[in-house]
Structure 1
Amino acid sequence: MEAAPSASAEERHRIERVARFVARDRDGDMAEALLLRLLKITRNGRRWGFLDPDHPLHPYYLQQKVSEQCRILRPRPVGAAAGGGR
């Protein structure tokens, strides 16, 4: 059995953008809470429903958010700096 239904490319792109935004925000929990509040006010579940923990695409959102947080925290290798030569 599949853990979550497959998402369209547009849905994946939207989820990845929101996950990136939340992960990069200094207070990501507040940003996520605000987005959830907006979801409840607008009731636009088709577009933003993945923010709800009960939504089938929520695990994908969490995966993307954690992945982005790890990417931000992971230090770059010393030799990988842009324009490596002097």
Structure 2
Amino acid sequence: MEAPSVVVSAEERHRIERVARFVARDRDGDMAEALLLRLLKITRNGRRWGFLAHDHPLHPYYLQQKVSEQCRILRPRPAAAGDR
């Protein structure tokens, strides 16, 4: 049985991708993510930042974006033709 798909608005998708990019590029991404989770608890702005919580339906999308960005950063860029 498949899990029901969650509809993500363009605004939500953009916000999640920006946060995932920020966390992935930070040298201590775990600390940045922990800080964001703490802010989520303090502000209780779950509608805007709820995807950071592990039990939120959009959390898997956030994780996918974060890992994708981490892989993109680590992947070596191909050498340009003039660099040989």
Give how far 1:19 is off. 0.0
The verdict on how the C-alpha distance between 1:58 and 1:71 changes in structure 2, with shifts beyond 3 A counting, is same
Residues in 2 aligned to 1:20 and 1:69: alpha-carbon distance in whole angstroms: 8
Q: Given the alignment of the two structures, is residue 71 of structure 1 paired with residue 78 of structure 2, yes or no?
A: no
C-alpha distance in 1 between matches for 2:38 and 2:64: 21
Kindly provide the CA deviation profile for residues 25-73 of structure 1, in whole angstroms up to 9, marking residues without a partner as x.
0000000000000000000000000000000000000000000000000
- After TM superposition, the score normalised by the length of structure 1 is 0.87
Q: TM-score, normalised by structure 2?
A: 0.89
Of all paired residues, the percent bearing the same amino acid is 90
Q: Kindly tell me: are residues 44 and 74 of structure 1, through their superposed partners in 2, closer, same or farther at Cα, counting changes over 3 Å?
A: same
CA distance in 1, matches of 2:49, 2:70: 20
Q: Which runs of 5+ in 2 are unaligned?
A: none
Structure 1 residue 2: Cα displacement: 5.6
Q: 1:59 to 1:84 in 2, by over 3 A?
A: same
What is the CA RMSD across the aligned residues, in angstroms? 1.9
Instruction: Give the stretch that moved more between structures: 2-11 or 58-67.
Output: 2-11
Residue 7 of structure 1 and its aligned partner are, at CA, apart by 0.5
**Aligned partner of residue 77 in structure 2, secondary structure:** coil
Q: Could you list the runs of 5+ residues in structure 1 that have no partner in the other structure?
A: none
Offset at 1:85?
Answer: 7.5
Cα distance, 1:84 vs structure 2 = 3.9
Give 1:15 shift: 0.1
Q: Structure 2 CA distance, aligned partners of 1:44 and 1:34?
A: 14
Q: Distance in 1 between matches of 2:24 and 2:83?
A: 32
